[in-house]
Structure 1
Amino acid sequence: AKAMQDGPQQIEPRKIEAGFTKTVHILFPSPVTYIDIGSMDIIAGKADRAENVVRVKAAVRNFAAETNLTVITEDGGFFTFDVYYAENPAVSTLNLT
């Protein structure tokens, strides 16, 4: 109720890098129920047999424009990411648990 009294709350996206030859894995605190990608420049999906892990990879080498990724988890968590291309992503696993 307090959030509604204060008005809408902005969710700041996390910045992640996606590579063409490397996969980035994001670990969430509960099972993922929804994934949305902002453009066809990236590929994202749940990892096999791991309901709380999303893998992200560039579908196009050297994509120039920033894109985004949104993930919703079973416990109501809402996560948003700004995704940039990097030949060698600085982080290969992001633990949000």
Structure 2
Amino acid sequence: MIEKTTRINYLYDFYQALLTTKQRSYMELYYLEDYSLGEISDLHQVSRQAVYDNIKRTETMLESYEQKLRLYERFLKRISILEKMEKETTDQRMITFIQQLKEID
């Protein structure tokens, strides 16, 4: 479950601009603020089922965006390569550059 939550949070970070305001609100409350479906439904005055359906549909959309654009996959590869480079080098200037690159992502 933690792995799924982490993945969805990353996908949300990468693709949130492609979502509607309502989708962003539900996803933020559910995944970032840890609200329950009931709490979100009370807040938005809709049924719990409507919140659940919206979140599941949005998760599917995020996965679809990732299949097409691969931003998260490329991010993971970059981080992996940077970590390997950091372990292999002893040059302090290179280590500083690598750390700066990590901070960008």
Superposed pair shares fold, TM > 0.5: no
The structure carrying a bigger helix percent of its residues is 2
The structure carrying a bigger strand percent of its residues is 1
- The alignment's TM-score, normalised by the length of structure 2, stands at 0.23
Larger radius of gyration: 2
- The alignment's TM-score, normalised by the length of structure 1, stands at 0.24
Bigger relative contact order (CA 8 A; separation at least 6): 1
